[in-house]
A and B are shown apart, each in its own frame.
Chain A
Amino acid sequence: MTTSATFGDLLRFARGHLDAAAEVPDSALREESSIVAAAQVTSRLALTLSRYLGDIAPGDMAEAITSSQLDPLMRSAVEARQALELAAEGLRTDAYGSGKPGGDPAGPLAARLAEAATALAAGRDLLRTHFTTGPDRRWSPRSSWASVIISGPVTRALAAEVAGWSRQLALVITRLSLAAQGDPAIPAPVRHGLAGACPWLLTASATITAGQRDNPATAPDTDLLHVVPVNIAPQPQPPQHAETAADLAAGLAASAARLRAIGWATTGQAAWAPVMTADSWRWTATGAAVICHVSELMLTSLAGRAVAFTGAPDVTAQLRIAASAAANACGRWRDVTAAWNQITTETKGLTAAGIADTSDLVVRLGRHAFTDPQWTPARAHRAPLRDPADLAPDAAQAAVLVGAIHHAADALACLAAADLHAVDTADRAGRLFMPTRALPDYYDVPYRHGTATPLAVAALLDAYQAACGASGRAVTDLDALAVTTNAPSRILAAARAASRPANNTSTPDTAPIRPSNREPAPPAPSGPVEQEVRKLASGDPILLLRAKAIDKAARKLIAEAKDSTHEPGTPGSAEGNSRPVRPARTAARLAASSFPASPAAPVAGRQVGGPPCCPTLRVSMWASLVVGMCATAETPRGWCRAGFRAHGVGGMLILLI
């Protein structure tokens, strides 16, 4: 049985190459081309790491400095990202030739680092498969793992991984730098870049570690990050003859994963997809009822097998609770099938995408539960339930069974939600019909079918709603059971716990995960603020980071001011008289159009309706800079609006400009 690749798989691959890179002997670093190539690949690695952090914390340094509401983890992620970008900038050696584009990197160290860079970039791509990017570049979930990825525990774990990788890279860079210092053939900018990158990499690592001081990533957080799978449905695995219990469980988990993926993929298709038929929905609901029924039988049987759970006295009670929840879910799914008795669609047949997988779930769960290894729902294959001692000879086998039931229930919960949504969509699209004989007498329909009555549709949707709730409760009970019995499926429980709203790092206005494809800007000379900070001999790299950010923002503001002065169509210019006047794309205009005239909710520390509180000099300066950045091409407009609303500085900005 095959399973989907996980983030952990890619991470292990990358780590293997990074570890191997550390073993590359110094003798391999004697050639100039090797050092230049390794520096270039390390730049790529640092850039990839910065993008991971960009996904976690989309804000900019300006926000990190001005916002008092920013979570320490987010603030540290922003600062570390900036440090990594600076390291990447310094390490760019493409001007000095580092191998052919797309060719093999020169030297064993560069080759190892390139493998690691590819794996880490693939890891980021894997996480992104759980999202879609809308026209506004905001990310929307496309799997149930999406909420796990943006959860606090996984975000913490990811940031901690980035900190670890940054430390490892710093060691590599130190070796490269030492090798480069003694080699006059190495171009001076490469030597300087190598020497300068190491502190930034260490700064990134230290910043993240400091940001997690009060709330560090735990081992379970890291485990959860590592099990995030690629969002591709596994290949169908139809039941085979004489499958072992382990095969049955693995096949069942694969079918469950496919159903979850199908549920997300088909959302919204019911309005037009001819494959989504009443037959399919009815059949799926029947399959769900059977799965719940068989689950109840197995859980009840396991509850009578207390000897398999010595040392875990709560298990028997949990099994009974879960059995009761499964029985309730079975009843609700039967209600759904009954509600379909008089309703049909204009297309027919068992054509929906999840039919085969639901069928596989039914068959495999039945083969777990009953004595016939060839069990099918047909009466000809009827068989008594397995003896409890045969069903769960020991705790390990009991855990496998609990895991199988857990996976099936989890898939049903997804299916219930997806079908509820799909049926509702089909109704809105006018795809639900009833035979004329079943319509009330006052319906004068000259056809064999008429549009389903609102009453019948309401009953159907109510039945789905109840099935959704009951399936959700069954899954919650099984979550607890899976953890107690150490079932292989317990990761589902951890994922659900992590994605609860309390653990979610997102707010309605700021999506924490967003694309961050920005290329690092070319290295800029030190600005006045940075120079001043350096003069003060401050050894704090975070202060330097902030100083650089201030200089960068100031440069943008000045550049924009120059642009707006020369912009065609600006009142007063010669061209402005001959062309239609269009609004200048100034920071002030953008700021003014980016948030409502009055705040939606009172902002702490401000009098609503009255004059704003006196802004401090620092905040006012930053407000101006943020507005300056708003107008630059590389700052997505959506985020700016969200950021202003989220941090309550918008009203103040208008007054300042």
Chain B
Amino acid sequence: MEEIDSMRARLEAAGELTELLVAAADAFSLLLATCRVCEERASELFAAFAFASAAAAQGRLIIDSAPSLAASPGTEASLRGCAEPDLAKVADGLAGLAQVLGDRLSAAAQQGHDRGDREACQDAAAEAMRIYELLAPDR
């Protein structure tokens, strides 16, 4: 859970577009890895985590296409998901993270100068919002 919280803080603190893109790429990687781990433990929530991980993988690939993303390998290799036993808590955390991610990317899509960046931010924001809709607790 700590990892999710710190990622959320990192996203909120990201200033420049390049910094936001790197943080977004890492956030999608964290979402993907955590959802994959949770799939194996969930029964009633298997479908939600499975589709969320598909959206996270897609979001990560979309961010890769943003021209302003620094060509760094990212941090996905170090992310191993979340060991929190309470899946509802994990889902809450991931939904919150996805919401922040979506909001930040949507805002960046309005402000970016490069068309490629704007499109990448917009499409990735849509994936983030999809994750939020899948994992949010309320109807």
Contact = CB atoms under 8 A, between A and B. Distances in A.
Interface string B37-81: 001000111111011011001101110110101011110000000
A385 B137 CA distance: 18
Interface string A605-636: 00000000000000000000000000000000
A290 B123 contact: no
Contacts of B50: 286, 289-290, 293, 334, 337, 377
- Count chain A CB atoms within 10 A of each CB in B46, B47, B53, B95 and give the residue with the most: B47
B134 A348 contact: no
B133 A378 contact: yes
Interface string B70-99: 011110000000000000000100010000
B78 to A, nearest CB: 14
A380 interface: yes
Contact of A448 (B36, B54, B65, B74): B65
A379 B57 contact: no
Interface in A334-374: 334, 337-338, 340-342, 344, 348, 362, 366, 370
A382 B48 contact: yes
B22 to A, nearest CB: 11
B74 A380 contact: no
Given A282-B57, A283-B54, A340-B57, A377 B48 contact: yes
A370 B43 CA distance: 11
Interface residues of B, number: 36
Contact of A286 (B44, B45, B54, B133): B54
A435 interface: yes
B24 to A, nearest CB: 14
Contacts of A448: 64-65, 67, 69
B4 interface: no
A379 B134 contact: yes
A389 to B, nearest CB: 19
B128 interface: no
Contacts of A381: 139
Contacts of B74: 437
Contacts of B67: 448
A293 B51 CA distance: 13
A341 B57 contact: yes
Contact of B47 (A282, A290, A340): A290
B61 A435 contact: yes
B11 interface: no
Given A338-B36, A379-B136, A380-B139, A437 B51 contact: no
Contacts of B45: 379, 382
A98 B113 CA distance: 79
A25 interface: no
A297 interface: yes
A407 B38 CA distance: 28
A286 B131 CA distance: 14
A115 to B, nearest CB: 50
B61 A380 contact: no
A436 B46 CA distance: 31
A362 B134 CA distance: 14
Which of A278, A342, A370, A379 gathers most chain B CB within 10 Å?
A379
A383 interface: yes
B138 interface: yes
A293 B61 contact: no
A342 B57 CA distance: 8
A381 B48 CA distance: 10
A293 B39 CA distance: 10
A279 interface: yes
A102 interface: no
B32 interface: yes
A449 B65 contact: yes
A279 B62 CA distance: 11
A435 B137 contact: no
B64 A435 contact: yes
Contacts of A286: 50-51, 53-54
23 contacts: A282-B54, A283-B54, A286-B51, A286-B53, A290-B46, A290-B47, A290-B50, A297-B43, A340-B57, A344-B61, A378-B48, A378-B133, A379-B45, A379-B91, A379-B95, A379-B134, A380-B136, A382-B45, A435-B65, A436-B64, A437-B64, A448-B69, A449-B64
Given A370-B44, A448-B64, 10 more contacts: A282-B54, A282-B58, A286-B53, A290-B51, A334-B50, A337-B57, A379-B48, A380-B137, A437-B73, A448-B65
The 3 closest A-B pairs by CB, nearest first: A377-B47, A435-B64, A286-B54
Interface of B: 32, 36, 39, 43-48, 50-51, 53-54, 57-58, 60-62, 64-65, 67, 69, 71-74, 91, 95, 123, 133-139
